[in-house]
Amino acid sequence: MNHKLIPRLLFVSVIILLPVAYRIPSSKAELHWGTTYTISVRNDGSAQWTYERKTLIKNETDMLELWDETSDEKRLAFQDQMEAIVNQTRQTTARNMSITTVNMVFQLKENEGTITYQFDWHGFAKIENNAIEIGDVFNNQFIDLDQDALLIIQYPEGYASSEATPPPMGISLYDRTISWKGPVNFGDDEPKVILIQGVAQSFNQWQTYAIVAVGASSISGLSLAFWYFFHSRRGRIVNLAQTPTPGVEDDEQKVTALLQRTGGSTLQSSITREFGFSKAKTSQLLDAMEKKGKVTRQKKGREKIVTLKQQDRNTQKN
């Protein structure tokens, strides 16, 4: 056998056995696990890996098996396997890489148990120019997702995905994630994602800009509406003040015509009788005409003599 193939075959075997290593042996396979892999990639090409496994607890036997999965031996076994993967990948990619100590967190909520492994993989992605390339660490590996498995790759702010293979289940601009849901059989160098810097702003930035733009537009719109309402209302008020009240102008014209027929003067009581006005209306009408400079009034005993101004007399003659 070619000795160069031994490290590669060892590496592939580790990857294939990785999901199996955390399942209960078939003789007591009671627990059913839902698995989520989350790989949060950073600008420098490093990534935080989160390997989360959830299961439902139906009885005491399930609880004992779950408790066995949280032992330090399981955590150390997982860390040893990940270190073996990273060491082999360092050779195949010719890039410096390493992982930090694996942390394990166990949570039990009602009848659901969750085991979460988390570590940092330094040198995970390849950086070239303004691009982050994800996928060469999966060279000749077959990381399959079963029916209840989910893989999420989260990319850093300020980047956009220009390529993702195989076609992902979903892409979220809100939290900058690309995801695949099982069952999926990945091929060589898959999943593969290429991120380009500066192609698009993040969703949060666009959301901020949109809120600011909408807010500014709303303020401008309200200001314009207020300005239009104020000035149009002001214009209406001015026009109402300048526009003669219907009926009043006609009454003034009637009084003016009467004064012109009577030689320019008549008694206020005669105006009241002539047009059937009340005394109060006649008084208010003549007050208005007097303020406009159309007539003058002079008291004589109990009566008032109403006299047409000279210019209105000249108007009649002309």
Please indicate, yes or no, if residue 232 is contained in any of the structural domains. no
Residues 168 and 277 in one domain: no
Tell which residue, 8, 50, 53, has the closest CA to residue 32: 53
Backbone angles phi, psi at 117, to 5 degrees: -105, 140
Same domain assignment for residues 130 and 27:
yes
Residue 231 lies in a domain: no
Most confident of 43-47, 221-225, 239-243: 43-47
Higher pLDDT, 79 or 243: 79
pTM score, whole prediction: 0.55
Residue 35 lies in a domain: yes
For residue 237, give both structure tokens.
Answer: 């008020």
Which of 263 and 149 is assigned the larger pLDDT?
Answer: 149
Q: Select the more confidently predicted residue: 266 or 142.
A: 266
| Statement to judge: residues 63 and 196 lie in one domain | yes
- The answer on 254 and 199 residing in a single domain is no
User: Angle at CA 268, nearest 5°, toward 266 and 273?
Assistant: 95
Percent of the chain surpassing pLDDT 70: 71
Residue 233 lies in a domain: no
Q: Are residues 279 and 172 in the same domain?
A: no
Claim to verify: residue 11 and residue 148 sit in the same structural domain: yes
Domain shared by 116 and 43, yes or no: yes
Q: How many domains does the chain have?
A: 2
Given a cut of 60, whether residue 24 has pLDDT beyond it is: no
Last residue of a domain, one of 142, 173, 206: 206
Q: Domain range spanning residue 289?
A: 248-317
Print burial letters for 249-279: b (CB count within 10 Å at least 16), e (below 16).
eebbeebbebbeeeebebebebbbeeeebee
> 286 and 192 in one domain?
no
Query: Range with the lowest mean pLDDT among 75-84, 100-109, 131-140?
Result: 131-140
